């Protein structure tokens, strides 16, 4: 039987560890067993139990204190992740081999791990060899996505991970519970964006014709391929958490022995749930 994995990614401060904690609690309430693996060698505290912790293998602080290496924080992190990639046997032993495993991998936030280093791609390929069905979950902080330029930057970061890893990816706007009612209404247009209308909002601010042209090209590329949509995540709302989990489960065909809906029908139902979520929370 297959095993299942979520690679939880996103910039520092986007809420990756909080997401893992939220999903663990939600799945426990559903009677589902979910494990978490920490892959951040610079992590400090967790609000959830881990089945494996990369710091048992190597820590950034230890690398930085090694005078023969002389690495700073970023160089130390890269060294740790490359060391990890050369020691996947540690991860294999930590995971064991239990059928129907469902594991969340809490990944580091440094974007270079997804843009020009092969470590995360190697991890995906190794997990697939271990019969894991892998889905990327890319998080962005909703509080920083209410402006067009920041939103475009967030999309490009999500696309970078998607292109690098070549796996199905669900993009999530976190911390919706921290937004005001007005901000929630404003951010709704960014979940399934019309990039061509966003072009007008962005280019009106720019003075340089060259940057206006570049922004139009980027927005056009994003819109033409339609590869990036976002789901809202309000960790105080069980329905919101369940919508995100349903999308991920469908993507990796979790519980494929159960009766699944056709993709189109499933997407329509979930879109309706997202619309209902916003209607309920904006009207409150």
- Greatest mean pLDDT range, 5-19, 86-100, 264-278: 5-19
30 plus 62 within the same structural domain: yes
pLDDT at 264: 47
Rounded CA separation 45/254 (Å): 30
For the segment 208-227, the average pLDDT, to the nearest whole number, is: 78
What strand order describes the sheet that includes 230-232? 52-53, 35-38, 102-106, 3-9, 132-141, 169-174, 230-232
Could you give the CA distance from residue 107 to residue 135 in angstroms, rounded to a whole number?
13
Give which of 248, 260, 259 is closest to 7, Cα–Cα: 248
Provide the β-strand partners of residue 134: 5
The two tokens of residue 181 are 């009612």
Task: Give the separation between CA 104 and CA 32, rounded to whole angstroms.
Answer: 13
The pLDDT of residue 181 is 84
Q: Are 123 and 6 in contact (CB under 8 A)?
A: no
> Residue range 183-190: average pLDDT?
81
Q: Do 127 and 203 fall into the same domain? A: no
Q: Which residue is associated with the tokens 């594991």?
A: 103
Last residue of a domain, one of 207, 226, 245: 226
Q: Looking at residue 114, which CATH number applies to its domain?
A: 3.40.50.300
Residues 129 and 266 in one domain: yes
Average pLDDT across the chain, whole number: 86
Give the pLDDT of residue 37.
96
As a whole number, mean pLDDT of residues 218-240 equals 87
Angstrom distance (rounded) from CA 114 to CA 228: 17
Looking at residue 228, what is its pLDDT?
82
Structural domain harbouring 204 = 199-226
Task: Name the nearest CA neighbour of 187 among 127, 125, 155, 144.
Answer: 144
Res 174 pLDDT > 60: yes
Question: Which residue is listed with tokens 């994995």?
Answer: 5
15, pLDDT greater than 90:
yes
- pLDDT value at 225 more than 80: no
* Strand bridging mode 102-106 / 132-141: unpaired
Q: Which residues contact 62 (CB under 8 A, 6 or more apart)?
A: none
pLDDT given for residue 118 in this prediction = 94
- Check whether residue 111 and residue 36 sit in a common domain: yes
pLDDT for the residue numbered 282: 56
Mean pLDDT over residues 60-74, rounded?
92
Which of the pair, 14 or 204, is modelled with greater confidence?
14
Report the C-alpha gap between 106 and 9 in whole angstroms. 7
Model pTM greater than 0.85? yes
**232 in the same domain as 212:** no
What are the tens digits of pLDDT across the range 110-160?
988 888 899 999 999 999 999 999 999 999 999 877 777 788 888 889 999
Determine how β-strand 169-174 pairs with β-strand 230-232. Answer: parallel
Same domain, 189 and 240: yes
pLDDT at 272: 62
Domain count, the chain: 2
Q: Are residues 133 and 212 in the same domain?
A: no
- Higher pLDDT among residues 278 and 239, named by residue: 239
Note the pLDDT tens digit of each residue in 39-57.
999 998 888 889 999 999 9
Are 217 and 133 in a shared domain?
no
Residue 276 has pLDDT above 70, yes or no: no
Q: Are 123 and 257 members of one domain?
A: yes
* Per-residue pLDDT, 30: 94
Residues 68 and 205 in one domain: no
Q: Are residues 82 and 213 in the same domain?
A: no
271 and 258, same structural domain?
yes
74 compared with 218, residue with greater pLDDT:
74
Q: Which of 3, 40, 6, 2 is nearest to 20 (CA)?
A: 6
What are 4's two structure tokens?
């299942």
Where a domain ends, among 226, 245, 272? 226
């Amino acid at each position: 039987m297959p095993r299942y994995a979520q690679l939880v990614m996103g910039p520092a401060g986007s809420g990756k560890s909080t997401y893992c904690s939220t999903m663990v609690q939600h799945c426990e309430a559903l009677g589902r067993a979910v494990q978490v693996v920490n892959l951040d060698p610079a992590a400090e505290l967790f609000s959830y139990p881990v089945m494996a912790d990369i710091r048992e293998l190597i820590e950034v602080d230890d690398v930085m204190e090694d005078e023969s290496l002389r690495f700073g924080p970023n160089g130390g992190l890269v060294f740790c992740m490359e060391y990890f990639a050369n020691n996947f046997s540690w991860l294999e032993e930590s995971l064991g081999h239990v059928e129907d495993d469902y594991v969340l991998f809490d990944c580091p936030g440094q974007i270079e791990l997804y843009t020009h280093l092969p470590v995360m791609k190697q991890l995906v390929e190794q997990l697939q060899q271990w019969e894991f069905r892998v889905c990327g979950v890319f998080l962005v902080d909703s509080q920083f996505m209410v402006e067009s330029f920041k939103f475009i930057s967030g999309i490009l970061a999500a696309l970078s991970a998607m292109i690098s890893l070549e796996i199905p990816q669900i993009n999530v706007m976190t911390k919706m519970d921290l937004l005001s009612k007005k901000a929630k209404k404003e951010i709704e247009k960014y979940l399934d964006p019309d990039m061509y209308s966003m072009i007008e909002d962005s280019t009106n601010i720019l003075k340089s014709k060259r940057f206006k042209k570049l922004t139009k090209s980027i927005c056009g590329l994003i819109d033409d391929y339609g590869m990036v949509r976002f789901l809202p995540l309000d960790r105080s709302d069980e329905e919101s958490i369940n919508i995100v989990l349903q999308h991920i489960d469908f993507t990796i065909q979790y519980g494929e022995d159960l009766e699944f809906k056709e993709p189109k029908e499933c997407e329509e139902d979930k879109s309706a749930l997202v619309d209902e979520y916003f209607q309920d929370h904006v009207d409150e």
